[in-house]
Structure 1
Amino acid sequence: MRTASGRSPRPAHKAKRRLAVGLAAAMAFGVGFAPAAQADDGRLPRLVKTDNIRAHMENLQTIADYNGGNRAHGTPGYDVAAMYVIDQLERAGYEPVKNTYEFDAWVENSTAELAQTAPEARDFAHGDDFITMSYSGAGDVTAPGVPVDADSADSGCEPGDFADFPDGAIAVVQRGTCTFEQKAVNAADAGAAAVVIFNHGATEGDTGPINGTVANLSAIPVVGASVAVGEALTSAGDDLELHVKVDSEVRTESSYNIIAETRHGRDDNVVVVGAHLDSVEEGSGMNDNASGSAAVLETAKQMRKLGRINNTVRFAFWGTEEQGLIGSTEYVEGLSEAERDEIALYLNFDMIGSPNFGRFVYDGRGELPGSIAPPSGSGAIQKVFEDHFAGRGLVSEPTEFSGRSDYSAFMEAGIASGGLFSGGDGTKTEEQVEYYGGTAGEDYDPNYHTAADDLDNINWDSVDQLSDAMAHSVETFADSTLPVNGVLRTQEAQQEIAFDRQADRWLR
């Protein structure tokens, strides 16, 4: 899943939490929010059928099969998949549009190199020992390696850490409290020719090479190494010499989202429902994210049968999500202040058919350690999903708002957000087997970002259950967003949104 925004990736910024315009007129006539007990009365979950979602996924699989095996950005597979979505929406009576954008794409032209050349020679393997951080600068450097406060979580976070740093040397720093970008900027300002950032090993999952990003193009090469590499470099002594080579560039590319909205509903209280349409280059991406985009597409098609609704529902099929949430970020940043204020909430559906699935609801209350503090109203969205599952005797669990999917830009803009996720590269526990079935000790989706993410590896029970919850939430908020944004729009509460992740890449 994911680097930066279009013109150039940028760090998280201060965003106002906005409470969107509510249904003042409806409230005046006593129209309120349907309580959870009335969830079974909804029509849309009965209209959105798993067989139809499966048919969309089969068609997306066929499109990938005949177009290089994937639906990645910049490929015929993505273009034909977009044509399919547009055609389906038009047949259902929508007027879909291509929301086009340009962005600065970071590209590695060849495999990066990291080696210790003294006091003894040792080559490190790309992928196993280290990974180039996205938006690393290019360079080919052989120079002394100098650890910088390398036993501290604040390693390289302050300019003072680089006092007396030898000009032209390669900095060796530990991952910790500040962003990789901050470490890289401090190193470059001190005259470093490259930076090796090694993992901290705080958890079992934090021992390997760091899949990170410096968010904005750095002036020098930056690679993320494993704990083992860090230990080797910091124990090598004063004669340490390193070779770092990164062959990369930033070039302007373009892509597009597909946007369609209902004809009926208030234009000043819009419910946005989104899923990314692109896959990774490695495969057809049936779970990630044909499952989400197919369910959103079928929900849009069946939505027309509800007739008049109170709030406009806008359906979005995001592009270049796998390059760093670019399509959704460009969309939100391209809106005017007034257009952003018209959005009541955002619902995100990224992977709903994981083979070893869980029923995960985004943490709108901000209770999980890895979640950022979500905009006001996000907890109400979470409760709608939880009540839906509970009403059907199904267990659900919260999942982190970590910055790994397309909700990120909406939350940074202060827009209440929520959604569902069936699990990716996390590991299922014994307790979760009791909730969902499946296999303990295995990833929720062992095929994540591989060629094996195909139709043979979809859990259709997961698609059925999560698409029902999706349809329920869309119908609920199309009727009323009262618990999410109230009846008055304010711009009083402010909070800085600072994710630790940007899609699949770590920021710190």
Structure 2
Amino acid sequence: MPADILAKKMSQAVTGEKAWRHLEAISEATAANGGHRADGSPGYDASTQYLTRTLTAAGYKVKRQEFSFLDYEIFSEKASVTAPNPRTLTPIIARFSISTPEGGLTAPVVVPSGKSTGCTANDYAGQDVKGKIVLVDVNDCFITQKQITASEMGAVAVLMNVNAPNPQLNLRYRMVPPEDARIPIATLNRGEAEQLKSDIAAGPVTVNVDLRGRNKMTKTYNLLADTPTGRADNTVVMGAHIDSVDTTPGMNDNAAASAMLLETAVQMAPYWKHVKNRVRFAWWAAEEKGISGSQYYVDQLNEADRSGTALYLNLEMIGSPNFLRQVYNGQTADGPGPAGSDRISGLIGGYFADRGLPTAGLVLDGRSDHSPFIAAGIPAGGVNAGSDAVKTPEQAKVFGGTVGEMLDPCYHQACDTLANVNRTIFEQNGRAMAWAVGRFAVDTSDVNGK
């Protein structure tokens, strides 16, 4: 069967309605087992058991790739204004943060004298922050650099305003690398941070922060399922992470993509005899914990395995409610991705263009499971409907939606339920990726020359 024919058949066979049944099953498994799918949790196991049963029924042999990764156990994430007007704050400690003493530490809180993001010493020019807690804004540099700078200036802790459009939204960040953690650090939602800034402008403010956790090792596993046909030395890998953070049921992030990947695998089974390049379907663990699952997978590849991996296709947050129809554009932050990545982008983008659906390019950044493949020199591409970026007026003219809101207002929040998944973009992204894997299952020659 020619590549274009299998691509067409796959895009017709995979539908949002069929994949939605899998998403409902993952939702039920998550809800009945603690309400999230963090690695090592009952929700993770229940969801992967559903994947395994469904794949086995379709004829696949499912492999669990077990590994351990550096995790962070949280004991306390509390804060309060102690003077002049006492009130409770709701911080979220950064993963791998240094801990305060039990009971916390109490100190004056100040904002940088220069740029509010607090990335460099110049942001504190002429200011004494020794023994104080600094309140900084998100952006300009990673959170790790903010606390390094604050530590070097003598601060005892950092609070960071996530500055999201929703004043009540807060997110958990992490220290990268963990060994660069210097002082306790946590995030505040915009509403609390702005009130705190207003109080500081009016006079001295004292805050107590009780932020405690410790590093630990967590055991988990990836799920892998291969087509029994096709060249093993030219394997097409298609993946999505199945884990979630522990504050959400994670339906858009990333159960929707996992469900669509499952339906794609099921619909490919009748076409195994036409598969010329082995397809490996992968459900990654610990994406939310430093992209650890896909990194482990890539780390286990020997040279023959790496050269025998034709390409990687990634599905990430494919049903965002305030979506952009984003296609990874073959570029990294430092320049072109591995040879062939731009061709993957062009083909997926062309699928949408042929149907009159506009797309936006998205850089192959370090925020999802394509990252380890890119670092290993393996071409990669895929789709992503968006997370915490804020929709611009220009984007709304093309894609609709709400200006000034995050592409997924429920990103890492309790509201990321089934109701948060936009079924239109969910199906569009799913059909596009089913088309892509059908095409590459037969022909990757224009990507890697094989």
TM-score bracket, normalised by the shorter chain, equals 0.7 to 0.9
Q: Are the counterparts in 1 of residues 81 and 205 from structure 2 also a CA contact under 8 Å?
A: no
Is 2:125 aligned against 1:125?
no
Select which of 387, 402, 417 maps to 1:454: 417
Alignment partners' CA distance in 1, 2:239 and 2:305: 17
Offset of residue 41 of structure 1:
6.4
Query: CA 1:452 to 1:207, structure 2 compared with 1: closer, same or farther past 3 Å?
Result: closer
SS of 1:313 mapped into structure 2:
strand
Q: Are the counterparts in 2 of residues 285 and 453 from structure 1 also a CA contact under 8 Å?
A: yes
Percent identity, aligned pairs only, is: 35
Q: Kindly indicate which of the two structures has a greater share of residues assigned to helix.
A: 2
Query: CA 1:214 to 1:448, structure 2 compared with 1: closer, same or farther past 3 Å?
Result: closer
Q: Name 1:196's counterpart in structure 2.
A: 158
Match runs of 1:434-449 below 5 Å: 435-440=398-403, 442-449=405-412
Q: Point out where structure 1 has 5 or more consecutive residues left out of the alignment.
A: 1-32, 488-508
Is 2:43 aligned against 1:77?
yes
- Higher mean C-alpha displacement, 420-429 vs 144-153: 144-153
SS of 2:311 mapped into structure 1:
strand
SS of 1:139 mapped into structure 2:
coil
Offset of residue 315 of structure 1:
0.7
SS of 1:453 mapped into structure 2:
coil
SS of 2:33 mapped into structure 1:
coil
1:209-250 Cα shifts (integer Å, max 9, x gaps): 78532220524312346674896798799x987644311111
Compute the TM-score of the two structures, normalised by the length of structure 1.
Answer: 0.73
Q: Name 1:250's counterpart in structure 2.
A: 215
Q: Choose between structure 1 and 2 for higher RCO, CA contacts under 8 A separated by at least 6 residues.
A: 1
Please give the root-mean-square deviation of Cα atoms over the aligned residues, in Å. Answer: 4.0
Select which of 95, 99, 108 maps to 1:138: 99
Alignment partners' CA distance in 2, 1:442 and 1:51: 27
Q: Are the counterparts in 2 of residues 371 and 402 from structure 1 also a CA contact under 8 Å?
A: no
SS of 1:247 mapped into structure 2:
strand
Query: CA 1:453 to 1:234, structure 2 compared with 1: closer, same or farther past 3 Å?
Result: closer
Is 2:296 aligned against 1:335?
no
Q: Are the counterparts in 2 of residues 92 and 301 from structure 1 also a CA contact under 8 Å?
A: yes
SS of 1:111 mapped into structure 2:
strand
Q: Name 1:267's counterpart in structure 2.
A: 232
Offset of residue 469 of structure 1:
0.5
Query: CA 1:315 to 1:145, structure 2 compared with 1: closer, same or farther past 3 Å?
Result: same
Alignment partners' CA distance in 2, 1:164 and 1:448: 36
Is 2:444 aligned against 1:478?
no
Offset of residue 273 of structure 1:
0.6
Alignment partners' CA distance in 1, 2:150 and 2:395: 44
Select which of 273, 276, 286 maps to 2:251: 286
Is 2:258 aligned against 1:297?
no
Query: CA 1:57 to 1:106, structure 2 compared with 1: closer, same or farther past 3 Å?
Result: same
Offset of residue 293 of structure 1:
0.8
Match runs of 1:313-328 below 5 Å: 313-328=279-294
Q: Point out where structure 2 has 5 or more consecutive residues left out of the alignment.
A: none
- Higher mean C-alpha displacement, 54-63 vs 428-437: 428-437
Alignment partners' CA distance in 1, 2:224 and 2:118: 44
Alignment partners' CA distance in 1, 2:199 and 2:337: 39
Match runs of 1:20-35 below 5 Å: none
Alignment partners' CA distance in 2, 1:381 and 1:470: 11
Q: Are the counterparts in 1 of residues 143 and 175 from structure 2 also a CA contact under 8 Å?
A: yes
Offset of residue 319 of structure 1:
1.7
Q: Are the counterparts in 2 of residues 372 and 402 from structure 1 also a CA contact under 8 Å?
A: no
Match runs of 1:132-281 below 5 Å: 132-140=93-101, 142=105, 151=114, 157=120, 169-170=131-132, 172=134, 179-185=142-148, 192=154, 194-196=156-158, 198=160, 211-215=172-176, 216-217=178-179, 218-224=181-187, 228=194, 243-281=208-246
Select which of 302, 305, 311 maps to 2:277: 311
Offset of residue 97 of structure 1:
0.7
Select which of 315, 327, 330 maps to 1:349: 315
SS of 1:252 mapped into structure 2:
strand
Offset of residue 199 of structure 1:
5.7
Alignment partners' CA distance in 1, 2:432 and 2:268: 14
Q: Are the counterparts in 2 of residues 73 and 255 from structure 1 also a CA contact under 8 Å?
A: yes
Alignment partners' CA distance in 1, 2:225 and 2:399: 34
1:435-488 Cα shifts (integer Å, max 9, x gaps): 44555555443333344433344333222221110011111222222333335x
1:16-69 Cα shifts (integer Å, max 9, x gaps): xxxxxxxxxxxxxxxxx97xxx57963211222333212212222232343333
SS of 1:472 mapped into structure 2:
helix
Is 2:62 aligned against 1:100?
no
Offset of residue 380 of structure 1:
1.3
What is the number of equivalent residue pairs in this alignment?
440
Q: Are the counterparts in 1 of residues 240 and 315 from structure 2 also a CA contact under 8 Å?
A: yes
Q: Are the counterparts in 2 of residues 149 and 156 from structure 1 also a CA contact under 8 Å?
A: no
Is 2:376 aligned against 1:413?
yes
SS of 2:77 mapped into structure 1:
coil
- Higher mean C-alpha displacement, 337-346 vs 192-201: 192-201
SS of 1:112 mapped into structure 2:
strand
SS of 1:259 mapped into structure 2:
strand
Query: CA 1:476 to 1:250, structure 2 compared with 1: closer, same or farther past 3 Å?
Result: same
Q: Are the counterparts in 2 of residues 72 and 279 from structure 1 also a CA contact under 8 Å?
A: yes
Q: Name 1:12's counterpart in structure 2.
A: none
Alignment partners' CA distance in 1, 2:418 and 2:323: 15
Query: CA 1:262 to 1:144, structure 2 compared with 1: closer, same or farther past 3 Å?
Result: same
